[in-house]
Amino acid sequence: MGWSLDKRCLAVSGGIGGAKLALGLTQVLRPDQLAIVANSGDDFEHLGLHISPDLDTVMYTLADLSDKEQGWGLAGESWNFLDALDSLGGETWFKLGDRDMATHVTRTRLLAEGRTLSDVTAYLCERLGVHHALFPMTDDPVATMVRLRSGELLSFQHYFVRDRCEPVVAGFHFDGIETAKPSPPLLNSLRDPQLAAIVICPSNPFVSIDPVLAVPSVRQELSDSRAPVVAVSPIVGGEAIKGPTAKMMDELGMPRTALAVAEHYKDLLDGYILDTKDRQLVQQVEALGIATTVTETVMLTLADRRQLAEDTLNFVDQLQSRP
Ligand code: FO1
């Protein structure tokens, strides 16, 4: 793989699925070669705490501290705080483990002291031994809202956790996005002359990737960058590996195919990575003007994560850096 030390990669990630590829990329790229921007549209105030679920999911995954079955939260967690909160009649639908609480309390304290979300994330990563750069899409407040077919607007975590993704969606709204500015580290990464790849990880396109792309000027920066933009399909054989992506596509009237996701990202992409199960879609994706490659994209082991990362970077190398 021709990744000389002066070439850099920016990965765009949401929660669980994206974090797996982000981890794979950390296995093949040095800290100064890889930066990860995470969705902060899932962030919300809960019990007086500022909670950043996707940033924490990526951070814990890179720190090798995450609960591997759940994908979010910490391994070996205890739940005494939540039990005590329950006995006091507090809200317990959003599961906050005892060790996880330390992260939320620390983030809330540092934000209250005037630190930016980017700075707080860098502080937490440094304390947890995460050496690759991880930062939010913006330091400004953005709240992903889910518009239901009933017309009701639901906050993301109410939709995702409290209501277990059961309501029927009609669309999404990113509250505050109009005045949000890209976070300084994101802007630095997008404008880095040594940026040689932008990888959209296999996260939910609507509620994990779209909020990042919706931050004003991000799309423009992406198209101005010489770095090829490639995405790994989050849909394999008509199903999402985890989460509500396929259900959302049904409810949005989109076919639940990897091709439909390529069309969703169309204007941005130079390349698209299909799973071997979707090999038959190559011609249709290429008809969109997007180069494709086919590989195993289902990541069950760390070796799978590393392999997909290598396949992704090799694919980028094949794509000419744009003029
Ligand atoms: N996801 C759940 O499905 N149930 C939970 O109780 C839950 C708690 C939780 C606590 C901290 C945190 O950082 C993430 C948590 N998540 C939980 C995941 C969270 O809902 C994210 O929004 C998803 O990962 C989707 O991005």
Domain for residue 54, yes or no?
no
pLDDT at 15 exceeding the cut of 90: no
Q: Is the pTM of this model over 0.95?
A: yes
Atom of ligand 1 nearest to the CA of 95: 6
- Whole-number Å distance, alpha carbon 320 to ligand 1 midpoint, is 38
The count of domains in the chain is 1
Q: What is the pLDDT of residues 166-203, one digit of tens each?
A: 999 999 999 999 999 999 999 999 999 999 999 999 99
By CB neighbour count within 10 A (0-12 exposed, 13-18 middle, 19+ buried), where does 268 fall? middle
163 lies in some domain: yes
pLDDT digits (tens, 9 = 90+) for 124-140: 999 999 999 999 999 99
What's the CATH number where 281 sits?
A: 3.40.50.10680
Distance of alpha carbon 109 from alpha carbon 233, whole angstroms: 38
Q: What is the mean pLDDT of residues 299-319?
A: 95
| Cβ atoms of residues 209 and 200 within 8 Å | yes
CA of 62 to the centre of ligand 1 (A): 17
The pLDDT, as a whole number, for residue 178 is 98
Asked whether 17 lines ligand 1 (CB < 6 A), one says no
> First and final CA of the chain: distance in angstroms?
22
Residue range of the domain that includes 251:
8-42+131-321
**How remote is the CA of residue 72 from the centroid of ligand 1, in Å?**
6
User: Do the domain assignments include residue 98?
Assistant: no
Please provide the average confidence, as pLDDT, over all residues in the chain: 96
Identify the three-state secondary structure at position 141: coil
In a domain, 172, yes or no: yes
Ligand 1 atom closest to the CA of 71, numbered from 1: 24
Tell whether the model's pLDDT for residue 238 goes beyond 90. no
**Is 70 exceeded by the pLDDT of residue 246?**
yes
Q: List the one residue out of 269, 245, 266, 267 whose CA is nearest residue 257.
A: 245
Counting ligand 1 atoms within 8 A of each CB, the residue from 95, 203, 204 with the most, and so the one to mutate, is 95
272 lines ligand 1 (CB under 6 A): no
Determine whether 239 is exposed, middle or buried from the number of CB atoms within 10 Å of its CB (0-12, 13-18, 19+): exposed
Backbone angles phi, psi at 225, to 5 degrees: -70, 145
Residue 114: inside a domain? no
- Among residues 66, 52, 202, 220, which one has the least CA distance to residue 136? 52
- For residue 321, the model assigns a pLDDT of 61
The predicted pLDDT at position 4 comes to 82
Task: Establish if 244 belongs to a structural domain.
Answer: yes
